[in-house]
Amino acid sequence: MKRLSGRAIRRGSSERKYLERSQPISVHQVHIIAAETETHRNGRSAKNMKIEKLETFVAVNWMMVRITTDNGIQGVGESTFFGWPGASKDVVLSFEPYLIGQDPLRTEHHWNYMYRAKSMRGGAIGGGISAIDQALWDIKGKYFEAPVWQLLGGKARDAVRAMLVLPTGTLEEVANAAAAAKADGFTAVKCLLYQHDHAPMRHSERIQDLVDRMAAVRDAVGWDMDVGVEIHRNMIPGEAIVLAQEIEKFRPYFFEDPVAPDSILSFGEVSEKTRIPMAAGERNLTIWEFREYIESAGVHHVRPDIGVAGGFTHCKKICAIAESHHQGVIPHAVPSGPVATAAHVQLGACVPNYEVQEHLYEEKPPYSDVVKEIIKLDHGWLQIPEVPGIGVELDEEGIAKHPYEYGPITHALRDDGSVALR
């Protein structure tokens, strides 16, 4: 029978009686020690730990969840179903009768139960499930006294590269913001090539304006900085193809969401007619949607959002699908709140094909108010927490300062009074 030295066994209260022995111990005794250690961890065994309480909080545009176990461990998560936090909140509360009394460590089981319990799916449901899943993984990390990245495979990198999302504005303002980002240590920025106000510009004028913006940003940062381009689904395929071919000379890092995600064929048409790598996925929710986009739409960088695409349980699988096709992961992380940002950093720490994480300068209220301590940004690099769980805790007083304000839904009209398609 194989024997191990007592020194090979992790020290703890339940092991002490074995470590005091001078003779070797058996593998069978190792299993007994492990079982006893689990029983003493946090005062009770994982087998008996149960979900006792579920709370929701809404601040600014962020819906956050906090789950508490009967032995006092708390986990937090965030839905990023932007503009509709109340809808995701209702989804979370609808799962409360199921979750109370359950073992919080059964993350795979709970994800499948919640996903398959709802026959009608979408962003609100995806957001609710994602927030719950993050909170359960936060609990799991705290229970096992390890960061979530440790439970998901360990570090693949020492820090997560951040990509600053540039503000919209005049051509000069955008160029200055890009130059400032480079001076602050960022090695990547994202340029938003669209107009928020949907100005009624004519085709040739519109294309020229966007080309000028890309040229200004490239001129401001030089060639030693990556510049991604986002169209935000504001074009039809014909326009997107023309713009892509015009800006190829500036070597964009990627060409993101030129058209709406509801037509894989249209997206594929744009991809076939440009040499710029394509990025998409912030509106996709499942491994099945991402697989089709990767295989049929010519996507080179997938963009899952951990706040709507299933939390840790599902996003890790999405990243693996991309890896199997030699594709990179550039998650959708703006305008996420600090909880989702922390969750993304945990994912980025352990996913090998995680390229860069979009980010905003958010070291001030309301972002910094809703959690007790935000994830640190150091010269363009997001620092990976070493503490158990996802690394942040909610600040209820700070949350109360920034209630969500419901407002009217608006959309642009074209010159002739018809509803704008983009």
In this prediction, residues 31-41 reach a mean pLDDT of: 48
Residues 329, 322 contacting (CB under 8 angstroms): yes
Task: Give tens-digit pLDDT for 312-325.
Answer: 999 999 999 999 99
Joined together, the tokens standing for residue 121 give 């799916």
For residues 87-93, average pLDDT: 93
What pTM was computed for the model? 0.87
Q: Which domains does the chain have, with CATH numbers?
A: 3-33 (no CATH), 51-148 (3.30.390.10), 154-400 (3.20.20.120)
Which residues are marked as active site? 232, 332
Within 10 angstroms of residue 412's Cβ, the number of other Cβ atoms is 14
User: What is the residue whose two structure tokens read 């519109």?
Assistant: 206
Q: Find the distance separating the first CA and the last CA of the chain, reported in whole Å.
A: 71
Using alpha carbons, select from 212, 205, 263, 256 the residue that is nearest to residue 234: 256
For the chain, what is the total number of helices (H) and then of strands (E)?
15, 15
Q: What percent of the chain has pLDDT over 90?
A: 64
Q: Which residues pair with 190 in a beta bridge?
A: 165, 228
For residue range 194-227, what is the model confidence (pLDDT) as tens digits?
765 555 568 888 889 899 999 999 999 999 999 9
Among residues 263, 193, 265, 183, the alpha carbon closest in space to that of 221 is found at 183
Tokens found for residue 202: 């004519």
**Structure token pair of residue 24:** 């070797």
- Which residue from 226, 236, 230 is spatially nearest to 210, judged by alpha carbons? 230
How does pLDDT run across 376-419, given as a tens digit for each residue?
999 999 999 999 999 999 999 999 999 988 777 877 787 788 88
